[in-house]
Structure 1
């Protein structure tokens, strides 16, 4: 008898949590304005924001779990001089989750199809943050004739995937996000999402800055506390180490086009000791290696930024992209 009551109680709690989750997601989605439009690419419906005029077009690739949201300040500073394109990968912000290939080659190909659907011709100035920088490098390796230049913001590097601890840590992270995604539909997406938003708040220089606070609120509502957001995060974390390795293979096989490259590194150390190991390796050695990929390599340190440089010091990103854009227009 006790077992029956226990089972019934769990079922009732799950049903109540599912109703709560769906209602909250609908309410929060309606409370946020969608600035762009939807583009169909294969099985995915992707939210795209295209603003401004001017060639070459600046195409933005976000970091893991990222979306158009963290680029508001950067886009505002660029759209007076260039066409700026941002998009949300499946599961994040306004792009519904759909199962799909998250390998860097596939992500780069989808981005190319988005640009073709938008009738935006190459060449492009690619702007990528963190994981998005790996997607940018995959795009440059696969379609070098379409790339005019690249600005990579606190980028990931393929050598991180070769470290002894990378694969076991990646497996644990992937497993944790998959469990969270499975529990998400019964209301746990909202519980875990609040934790994720608090973690993001610790990774920025000033969570109380108006545009950063607005980002944290919107990202929480549209990604962190949604079932689709957790499914998207689970998919990206599950393949994170392999993404690093595959980009390394692409770099070895195809190289990088002879175009300008600027790397912007975060100057502030991460909040926990574990992240600092990778941070030190990236900023002291690997970022310089990335900058050396192109014939006009440049390495800049955003001294007052954590990993989220587009939020902490968007003006540095704007200045570097504008400088490269001007140089490309004068060629």
Structure 2
């Protein structure tokens, strides 16, 4: 048998040391990331406490609910597919609260609210909100204001708790038929990189990237933007889960399209898509214009779900109308509030 050369032994030893130290450095980096994330979560709770109250909805869970002002009807805001939770309405809620009761909340798993172990569905979201309002002592009549996917949750709430709903404002809302109607133009865009990033939230990667991923919106305070980033590693996990469940929730909600004679305003964002948005959707500018036309038509149809529905197009606003043009949302909400009051004989 040939003797092992000393140089071979040295090479093996060097390789073992490289592997050992590389593994040790990786473990140290992961540990540092975990500590960074845990410290970040502690600081988030310390620096950005929940506005309003944390409402026990049973099962050891709490929902953050922020109600301000007084008067009837009570306006209830429902956020879209975002990580902002109740802060989605920070540019709108104060003006509404100056005229009537106004409540914004964070869905399960977003911002301050505890996650739910139940499968995500439109009915579950509506039930959570109803339970939170009831346990907090908030009573109808309600005017529901939902943006994007929040519009779908608002109509689902009306489906199951319609006796408490007097009016709705749907802000660039989702539509049950949107996938089928725009399927020829759209491509699946949920990236593997996003999923990996969300799955590694516990390592602090999302927290470190939050300032770049979540720039401050128009008409959003710097403090609110910082609060959203502080809770992003938690909220983005829920956002991804809601995104995955969207198609099923659209199908779930599609059977209900009758809002009776409730006061209703539907707002459509009609600003042309930016180059970045077109790249993300993988469509051309011409196709973007066609998609917007379909989107507008869907909302015109949605306005017909009530015999007193009204549709408005906003040519200079993008999807987040509540930030781009908060005055348009405020005006629409107050118009519905006044209609509800008139129906109730002017009671305030």
TM-score by length of 1: 0.86
Contact 1:101–1:107 (8 Å) recurs in 2: no
CA 1:311/1:277 → structure 2, altered by over 3 Å: closer, same or farther? Answer: same
CA 1:259/1:296 → structure 2, altered by over 3 Å: closer, same or farther? Answer: same
Contact 2:296–2:313 (8 Å) recurs in 1: no
Distance in 2, matches of 1:38 and 1:279, equals: 40
Q: 2:188 aligns with which of 143, 163, 169?
A: 169
Contact 1:140–1:257 (8 Å) recurs in 2: no
Q: 1:238 aligns with which of 205, 224, 244?
A: 244
The answer for the alignment partner of 2:330 in structure 1 is 318
Contact 2:267–2:311 (8 Å) recurs in 1: yes
- Matched length: 315
Distance in 2, matches of 1:242 and 1:121, equals: 30
Contact 1:269–1:279 (8 Å) recurs in 2: no
The answer for the alignment partner of 2:90 in structure 1 is 72
Contact 2:178–2:298 (8 Å) recurs in 1: no
The answer for the alignment partner of 1:295 in structure 2 is 307
Distance in 2, matches of 1:270 and 1:191, equals: 29
Structure 1 segment 175-254 matched on structure 2, within 5 A: 177-198=194-215, 207=218, 209=219, 211=220, 213-222=222-231, 224=232, 226=233, 228-251=234-257
Distance in 2, matches of 1:24 and 1:166, equals: 41
The answer for the alignment partner of 2:7 in structure 1 is none
The answer for the alignment partner of 1:134 in structure 2 is 152
Mark the runs of 5 or more structure 2 residues left unpaired by the alignment.
Answer: 1-15, 282-287, 344-348
CA 1:166/1:157 → structure 2, altered by over 3 Å: closer, same or farther? Answer: farther
CA 1:282/1:190 → structure 2, altered by over 3 Å: closer, same or farther? Answer: farther
CA 1:98/1:16 → structure 2, altered by over 3 Å: closer, same or farther? Answer: farther
Residues 149-179 of structure 1, C-alpha deviations (whole Å, 9 max, x = no match):
1000011111123354799727x35x65543
Q: Which moved more, 1:240-249 or 1:54-63?
A: 240-249
Contact 2:37–2:207 (8 Å) recurs in 1: yes
The two structures, once aligned, show a CA RMSD in angstroms of 2.4
Distance in 2, matches of 1:105 and 1:282, equals: 27
Aligned-pair CA distance for 1:239: 0.6
Contact 2:74–2:142 (8 Å) recurs in 1: yes
Residues 16-65 of structure 1, C-alpha deviations (whole Å, 9 max, x = no match):
10001111232233222432110111332111101111111111110112
Asked if 1:56 is matched to 2:73, the reply is yes
Distance in 1, matches of 2:237 and 2:88, equals: 20
CA 1:34/1:132 → structure 2, altered by over 3 Å: closer, same or farther? Answer: same
The answer for the alignment partner of 2:9 in structure 1 is none
The answer for the alignment partner of 1:40 in structure 2 is 56
Residues 245-268 of structure 1, C-alpha deviations (whole Å, 9 max, x = no match):
2111344xxx33331210111132
The SS at the match of 2:170 is strand
Q: 1:108 aligns with which of 108, 115, 126?
A: 126
The answer for the alignment partner of 2:41 in structure 1 is 25
Contact 1:177–1:233 (8 Å) recurs in 2: no
Mark the runs of 5 or more structure 1 residues left unpaired by the alignment.
Answer: none
- Which structure has more helix as a fraction of its residues? 1
The answer for the alignment partner of 1:11 in structure 2 is 27
Asked if 1:120 is matched to 2:123, the reply is no
Aligned-pair CA distance for 1:285: 0.7
CA 1:134/1:62 → structure 2, altered by over 3 Å: closer, same or farther? Answer: same
